[in-house]
Amino acid sequence: MSDPRYAIGIDLGTTHSALSYVNLQASDGEKTQHGVLAIPQLTAPGTIEELPLLPSFLYLPHADELAPGENKLPWQQTAEEQTGVAGEMARSRGATTPIRLVSSAKSWLSHPGVDRRSALLPHDAPEEVTRVSPLAASTRYLSHLRRAWDQAHPDAPFGEQAVTVTIPASFDPGARELTAEAARAAGYTNLTLLEEPQAALYSWIQGSEGRWRKDVKPGDIILVVDVGGGTSDFSLIAVLERDGVLEPHRIAVGDHILLGGDNMDLALAHLVARKLAANGTQLDAWQMRALTYGCRTAKEKLLADATVATWPIVVPSRGSKLIGGSVRTELTREEVSTFILDGFFPQVEASARPAVRTRAGLTQLGLPYAQDAGITRHLAAFLARQVGATAELEGYAGKQGAGAANAEATFLHPTAVLFNGGVFKSDLLAQRILGAINDWLYLEGAEPARRLDGADLDLAVARGAAYYSYVRRGTGVRIRGGTARSYYVAIESAMPAIPGMEPPIQALCVAPFGMEEGSEIALPNQEFGLVVGEPVQFRFFGSSVRRQDQIGDLLDFWGQDELIEMNEIQANLSPEGRQSGDVVQVRLHAMATESGTLELAAVANDGQRWKVEFDVRTA
């Protein structure tokens, strides 16, 4: 294969996807020539427009719904591709026919409670709609982007370029693996995965054209707050100095929080709809969507300009009588403040924690949305959990945070904050979060954190991903860090059974924190006897705080929040060359692959390997 000419970055978002690129031949050091691909997509039947973002929606039209040829794209589509429409038209059509709309495929892809390879979307579609799996939907978006690239660059085929796809930092190994699988199915060959908050920081570094070295200093701890359409994602990045060179290290990532800007707009829309309903006006689904858009605009205006007290919202009539048929209403500053600021960005103490409601007996097959809408509470919990994140970091020993030598700190003290995600187009919301953090810092005697400016909120992730593809090839700064969690399998303790009690378990560390990509470690002194042909399940745990555990460490006790149980993992020894029913002694190996996924393998003494699956199909 010839050398890539472009470094491509793809932001596969919950609500929008984008593709950015760096021209490798025209770039040198921190001076890059880069761009964003205009993505041809249907915006209405038979109408193709090139837009910088591809809405991550897939519409599955009825056979009679579109006139022949009206769903054609500028490239040759396979029969399967023709069964669905991705992009802007999918989003607008789906508003009137939601039973045929696949949305939030990415959230489903990271939903551990469902079989993500099974055709289950749209989740409330009637029988006759041929559903698709979260994996297949993600594949569609990725393949649409690949086709768009190939059409625009016939001389530099996608398959020959270096490609980075972004994922939330909070994605577990299973969701990472599935994203890589979707990309492979979409024809991606040279693939690397990158965490979105890191991509945002890369974009900021790229945008500063070298000035970032003045804006950050060794000892800084950068908090990246990324609130997208559907998810909130936090990461901490420490700035180290090695041999006179600044080296950012990603030291911690947050949990997966399904809470984003769309929830805010929807919450406002429901508030306004209730007001209208009180006056006898009922809105249908189509009008609700128009109202949601109206609320987003009103929210941004009201939050941006303190002199505006109310902002009018007009929901157009469904029929052709626009005048008289339209519903006029308004949103007031007070409503936005109460709902958005106090609801999603409450001013809380550093000791605040998100409320966890115990789930009802029957868990519905739906997305596990965050149960507490307070983003600041989630943030407080994250910083507190990571209070020891720098304890073993070179140059940070003995101090929490950068400057303040404060052993009493109850949370990790960030010194700088980078915001990302469309939500922060309302600058007030960024200020609100920064204000909360600085209040917490002040109470612990630390310097206020400063804000890193200049990120492009919509495209930073795609841009940063392209830049990462570029710096991976040897030039420019790279964020270090390795895997952001340590992983464990449960081992039953050899203790006498006590009636009525589950046998206690021990946690065996099978992959330590911070494994660098390309590394592989074997589990010492621990062999498992696995039966050929019989799948074995292990309970599987991850920890975002236990940095010191080494592979092979066996834990008897751990703090309540230290280990989070994930989906079971499964080793299935296919009987290649062996007798079914034989017992084979295997050791577990952990690998951090070059492409950014984690792999576990069972390796027999003779070297034969079997992959341990993170994503176990539920029967």
Partner 1 sequence: MPTPLRVATPDAALQLLSLFQREARLIDFTQENLSAYSDADIGAAARVVHEGCAKVLKEHFTIQPVRSEAEGSRVELPEGFDAAAVRLTGNVVGKAPFRGTLSHRGWRAADVRLPKLAEAHDAAILAPAEVEL
The residue ranges that bind partner 1 (CB under 8 A) are 40, 43-50, 67-70, 72, 74, 96, 312, 314, 316, 318, 320-324, 326, 328
Q: Which CB atom, from 257 or from 295, has the smaller least distance to partner 1?
A: 295
What's the rounded Cα separation, in Å, for the pair 152 and 502? 60
Minimum CB distance to partner 1, residue 228 (Å): 23
Query: Any alpha helices (H) in 386-493, and if so which ranges?
Result: 427-443, 460-471
Nearer to partner 1, 69 or 361 (CB): 69
Closer by beta carbon to partner 1, 318 or else 399:
318
Q: Which C-beta is closer to partner 1: that of 326 or that of 570?
A: 326
Distance separating alpha carbons of residues 126 and 398, to the nearest angstrom: 60
C-alpha span between 485 and 480 (Å, rounded) = 14
When the beta carbons of 94 and 173 are compared against partner 1, the nearer one is 94
Q: What angle do CA 133, 139, 145 make, to 5 degrees?
A: 150
CB of 129 to partner 1, least distance (A): 14
Strands 450-452 and 536-543: unpaired
Q: Which is nearer to partner 1, 72 or 425 (CB)?
A: 72
DSSP string across 468-530:
HHHHTTT-S---B---SSEEEEEEE------TTSPPPEEEEEEE-TTPPTTEEEEPTT--EEE
Minimum CB distance to partner 1, residue 325 (Å)? 8
**Shortest separation between residue 328's beta carbon and partner 1, angstroms:** 4
Closest to 143 (Cα-Cα) out of 54, 235, 276, 262: 54
Nearest residue (CB) to partner 1, 286 versus 558: 286
Least Å from the CB of residue 322 to partner 1? 4
Residues shown for the chain: 619
CA distances from 401 to 219, 410, 442 (A): 8, 11, 13
User: 70 or 444: whose CB is closer to partner 1?
Assistant: 70
- Cβ proximity to partner 1: between 81 and 372 the closer is 81
Pairing between β-strand 416-420 and β-strand 450-452 as defined by DSSP bridges? parallel
Structure tokens at 487: 């992983």
Quote the tokens at residue 562: 């230290």
Where are the extended beta strands (E) located within 6-61?
Answer: 6-12, 16-28, 31-36, 39-44, 47-51, 54-55, 58-59
Phi, psi of 603 (to 5 degrees): -120, 125
Compute the least distance from the CB of residue 41 to partner 1, in Å.
Answer: 10
Q: How far is the CB of 425 from partner 1 (least distance, A)?
A: 16
The DSSP secondary structure of 336-372, one letter per residue, reads HIIIIIIHHS----TT-----PPPPSSPPSS----S-
Which residue in 614, 475, 464, 612 sits closest to 542, CA to CA? 614
Q: How far is the CB of 77 from partner 1 (least distance, A)?
A: 12
- The least distance separating partner 1 from the CB of residue 284, rounded to whole angstroms, comes to 9
What is the nearest approach in angstroms of partner 1 to the Cβ of residue 49? 4
Q: Which is nearer to partner 1, 314 or 404 (CB)?
A: 314
What are the backbone angles phi and psi of residue 376, rounded to the nearest 5°? Answer: -65, -35
Q: What's the chain's Rg over C-alpha atoms? A: 25
Q: Which is nearer to partner 1, 48 or 391 (CB)?
A: 48
Residue 515: name the closest of 540, 485, 555 by CA. Answer: 485
Taking the complex as a whole, the smallest distance from the CB of residue 313 to partner 1 amounts, in Å, to: 9
